[in-house]
Amino acid sequence: MRIGISGTFWAEPHVGSGQYVRHLVHELPKVAPQHEYLVFIPAYTNPTIPKIAGVAVDRVPTPLDTLHPKLAKLWYEQVELPRAAARLAVDVLHVPYYAPPLRQLTPVITTVHDLIPLLLPDYRGSLAMRLYTSLATRAVCRSQHLIAVSDHTRDDIIDVLNVNAQRVSTVYEGVDPIYQPQPPAAIAAVRERFNLQRPYFYYIGGFDVRKNLLTLLRALGRVRRRYAGPIQLVIGGQRPTSTAALFPALESTILDEDLASDVVFVGRVSTEENAALYAGAEAFVWPSRYEGFGLPPLEAMACGAAVIASNASSMPEIIGRGGVLIAPNDTEAWATAMVRVLQDQPWRTELRQQARARADDFSWTSFAQQIVQVYERIPNRIKLL
């Protein structure tokens, strides 16, 4: 088979879709070298063309590349990508995010990470964004097959998009091998780099409203009033430059809870720094109200961190026995679990061991093997239609 893959997010390795496509492309030739792989990368992203054994790359220009990146993206998705796939005679085109072409000249497989714009009103955006989502949704429903990143997302696809269950497969993501227990020297170095002189909880994963950081801050306020020892909350990631309904301001809650000296924003961190921050934390805390998959808790578990996470959406499915699951808005339960992980060392050690064991269930190799199985079912099905 000749398999085409859209590399729209290739140039964004720090976002979830970028990690997904990169791991996909790197693993496929290893697990199924009998197939041909061709990655289409849009020129408007100014990509560095990858050189991967067993993978060809086609740089795809549009007439709008230098005029408007959002319109160039739309033109690439809806016009140039299907043309390129047809021109190069791919048997299957895999679009690994929620924007396949509406006019499908080749059998299309689409990965659906979540249905957030359809399920959460705060994320529907401007009129232009709503029109784009509507177009993408119509195209997703026309896809030959859909890949969901969790059973929770698969259920959403079936219920919300009214797609036949036989057209949707769940394939779990993996965890990068860099995420593993870290040597003491790496943990000490990252502590020194960010001036972390106290035991700390760690959070990374975004600042938008569904991430529920206000509940986490209120829980930390209760922890500080009940726990006599020094403690900090370390928050990683680039903060938004402006506040809006989608990005609630955190400062007022920090001041109200008297946490000004207890919350540390470390900004964007490298993969190596992130791994060390996971490993050095008393616990990784993840109060998100909705996730299609939820990669940071898995990364934290792989590093041997105790994990305290929301019990909403896909989290019970992904974290399973590997962490403590709490209702996202139950501030008291969050505070109780955080205090216990600080005071009860045997319990914290048990959580770390359970986390590592659970993380072993996820690998990008297994992910790629299952993706290939989906690819290989498509031509036979097409011939029967």
C-alpha–C-alpha distance, residues 346 and 336, integer Å: 16
For the cut 80, the answer to whether the pLDDT of residue 181 exceeds it is yes
Tell me the average pLDDT across 203-222: 96
Tell me the average pLDDT across 255-280: 96
% of the chain residues with pLDDT over 70: 98
User: Could you report the per-residue pLDDT of 311-324, keeping only the tens digit for each?
Assistant: 999 999 999 999 99
Number of residues written out for the chain: 385
Longest dimension (CA), the chain: 69
For the cut 60, the answer to whether the pLDDT of residue 119 exceeds it is yes
When the pLDDT of each residue in the chain is averaged and rounded to a whole number, the result is 94
pLDDT of amino acid 243: 59
pLDDT of amino acid 245: 76
Select from 68, 83, 80 the least CA-distant residue to 128: 68
For the cut 80, the answer to whether the pLDDT of residue 303 exceeds it is yes
Range of lowest pLDDT (3-17, 129-143, 169-183): 3-17
Domains and their CATH numbers in the chain: 2-174+364-384 (3.40.50.2000), 184-359 (3.40.50.2000)
Local confidence band at 13 (pLDDT 50, 70, 90 cut-offs):
confident
Q: Which residues contact 362 (CB under 8 A, 6 or more apart)?
A: 172, 173, 174, 175, 298
Tell me the average pLDDT across 239-267: 90
Joined together, the tokens standing for residue 8 give 């729209």
Local confidence band at 208 (pLDDT 50, 70, 90 cut-offs):
very high
pLDDT of amino acid 241: 78
Range of lowest pLDDT (63-72, 130-139, 282-291): 63-72
pLDDT of amino acid 70: 92
Local confidence band at 131 (pLDDT 50, 70, 90 cut-offs):
very high
C-alpha–C-alpha distance, residues 117 and 114, integer Å: 9
pTM of full prediction above 0.75: yes
For the cut 90, the answer to whether the pLDDT of residue 120 exceeds it is yes
pLDDT of amino acid 381: 42
Local confidence band at 379 (pLDDT 50, 70, 90 cut-offs):
low
Distances, alpha carbon 133 to alpha carbons 117, 127, 150, in Å: 7, 10, 21
Q: Which residues contact 359 (CB under 8 A, 6 or more apart)?
A: 175, 179, 298, 301, 302, 322
For the cut 60, the answer to whether the pLDDT of residue 383 exceeds it is no
Q: Are 334 and 287 in contact (CB under 8 A)?
A: yes
Q: Which residues contact 314 (CB under 8 A, 6 or more apart)?
A: 149, 150, 151, 152, 153, 291, 292, 293, 294
Tell me the average pLDDT across 107-124: 95
Q: Which residues contact 163 (CB under 8 A, 6 or more apart)?
A: 141, 146, 157
% of the chain residues with pLDDT over 90: 90
